[in-house]
């Protein structure tokens, strides 16, 4: 694994180290978090089929977290994998909305704001997400129509 610019919340992983590194765009999220599941639904409705999804709780998700040095419990972020590059927190969210239809890509202009400032808001929401939206008892299972979008 080659580490690249952790200050910008990006890591580059070798495709030989993890099978998901070859997927063009993959969002790895907390499958128990209702906020995160709502975000996945929102993304699927607007991304024109550009993203695949997986949960952090899955075996491969846990393996990926270890590989990039993130906690395997008490998740502090979700991950965006783009062609082997790993993005986290606000950078991941803004790179995702850049792929949405409509006016959503305009939000990616916030990438011009220093990451440390953007992540203050991200960290606040992440810390309170279960209180704001609740927590499921079991991990999200994709519906029949979503199954081809989940790895």
Across the beta sheet with 79-82, the strand order is 10-12, 85-88, 79-82, 25-29, 52-55
Looking at domain 6-142, its CATH architecture is: 3-Layer(aba) Sandwich (3.40)
**pLDDT computed for residue 76 by the predictor:** 84
The per-residue DSSP string of 89-143 comes to HHHHHHHHHTTSSTTGGGGGGGGGS-HHHHHHHHHHHHHHHHHHH-B-SS-----
At 15-54, the pLDDT tens digits run 878 889 889 999 999 999 999 999 999 999 999 899 999 9
Tokens representing residue 134 in the block: 């609740």
Inter-residue contact 12 to 85 (CB < 8 Å):
yes
- Please state the pTM of the whole predicted model: 0.86
> Quick check: 13 and 67 in contact, CB under 8 A?
yes
Question: Could you read off the pLDDT of 62-107 as tens digits, one per residue?
Answer: 999 999 999 999 888 999 999 899 999 999 999 999 999 899 999 9
Return the structure tokens found at 141.
């299972």
* Cβ–Cβ < 8 Å for 24, 149: no
pLDDT value for 10: 60
- Reduced to 3 states, what is the DSSP secondary structure of residue 77? coil
Domain boundary assignment for the chain? 6-142
What does the pLDDT look like over 113-122, one tens digit per residue?
999 999 999 9
- Residue 38 near residue 45 (C-beta atoms within 8 A): no
Determine contact, residues 28/61, Cβ cutoff 8 Å: yes
């Amino acid at each position: 694994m080659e580490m690249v610019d952790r200050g910008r919340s990006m890591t580059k992983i070798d495709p030989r180290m993890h099978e998901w590194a070859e997927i063009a765009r993959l969002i790895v999220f907390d499958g128990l978090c209702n906020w995160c599941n709502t975000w996945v639904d929102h993304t699927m409705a607007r991304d024109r089929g550009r993203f695949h999804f997986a949960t952090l709780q899955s075996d491969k998700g846990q393996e990926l977290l270890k590989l990039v040095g993130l906690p395997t419990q008490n998740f502090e972020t979700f991950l965006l994998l783009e062609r082997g590059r790993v993005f986290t927190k606000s950078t991941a969210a803004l790179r995702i909305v850049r792929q949405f239809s409509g006016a959503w890509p305009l939000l990616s202009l916030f990438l011009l704001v220093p990451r440390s400032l953007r992540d203050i808001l991200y960290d606040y929401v992440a810390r309170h997400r279960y209180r704001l939206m609740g927590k499921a008892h079991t991990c999200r299972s994709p519906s029949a129509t979503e199954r081809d979008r989940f790895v």
